Amino acid sequence: GDVNLLILPELAFTGYVFESRDAIAPFVEPDGPTGPTASWARRVAVRLGCHVQVGYPRRSTAAATAATGGWRNSVCVAAPGGDDEGVLVATYDKHFLYEVDERWAEEGDAFKAVELPLGREGTSVKVGFGICMDVNPYRFTAPFNKFEFAWFHRHAGTRLVSGSMAWVLSKDGDDADTDESEEDRSEEAAAAPVTKTWQYWMLRMMPLWKEAMRENVGEDDDDEVHSEDEGAEEPEEKETRVVFAACNRTGGENGTKFCGSSAVFEMRRRTGGGGGVQLLGG
């Protein structure tokens, strides 16, 4: 078919908002391809003839200790194959944890990008995985303009950023213009979370679409976005294309509302300056 990669949200089948380790304990799945979520992903990969990415709580045998159990907030990726049983081709553990994750999960070891046959006629594409908080500054304490996630994937040569999200609805809502009709205000209020979320995600991806960026921002730097000196000699122009695809939850859970906003963006970066972002679908 026309589907190369099916992306599902973070902790897609269990829900996201758990108050404690005891609350999520019944849902933590074993490592490997035989757990409930990995098995589901393999079956769907075979049925649809595509790769499938889905979020789930996982017990990492490699990281497990008596004290922590190696519990991770993870995504698995399955592909067709394996005598029509499907195969597990990648696992990624959330590297930057949100406060809800810290109640039960350990940090993943590092960001990750792997080669997968997602291009035309099965050509290889470097795919970088992200889970929600990964795109933010570390624990919201790192400098905003450090862009840890985006810089990792720029250096890794990632061409597809694939995000499983449980992105919450912001509590900072703007009041509607009092001169607008009630219907207009409702439409604006409904669209605002989507628009603001898209803008924020693309801001956090800036090193992937803006060539002139400065890395390794120190904690004493301000929060402005830094560029290299404009007077530097420009190299021969070359364009780099990166796709950002994110699937986010909608609705609510235990008093937490999610903002939806699932989308696919194309980011183009040109040496010598230039570049930009285009919404492909959302």
Amino acid at 241: R
Q: Count H helices, E strands: the chain?
A: 5, 13
Give which of 87, 65, 69 is closest to 77, Cα–Cα.
87
pLDDT digit string (tens) for the chain, length 282 residues: 588 999 999 999 999 999 999 999 999 999 999 999 999 999 999 999 999 999 999 999 886 665 678 999 999 999 998 888 999 999 999 999 999 999 999 999 999 999 999 988 889 999 999 999 999 999 999 999 999 999 999 999 999 999 999 999 876 544 333 333 334 434 455 556 688 999 999 999 999 998 766 676 554 444 443 333 333 343 444 889 999 999 999 999 999 999 999 999 999 998 777 789 999 998
Residue the block writes with tokens 């907030």: 73
Q: How far apart are CA 208 and CA 149, in angstroms?
A: 10
Q: How far is CA 190 from CA 172, 176, 248, 258, 260, in A?
A: 14, 11, 16, 13, 11
CA distances from 108 to 96, 102, 250 (A): 7, 12, 25
pTM assigned to the model: 0.86
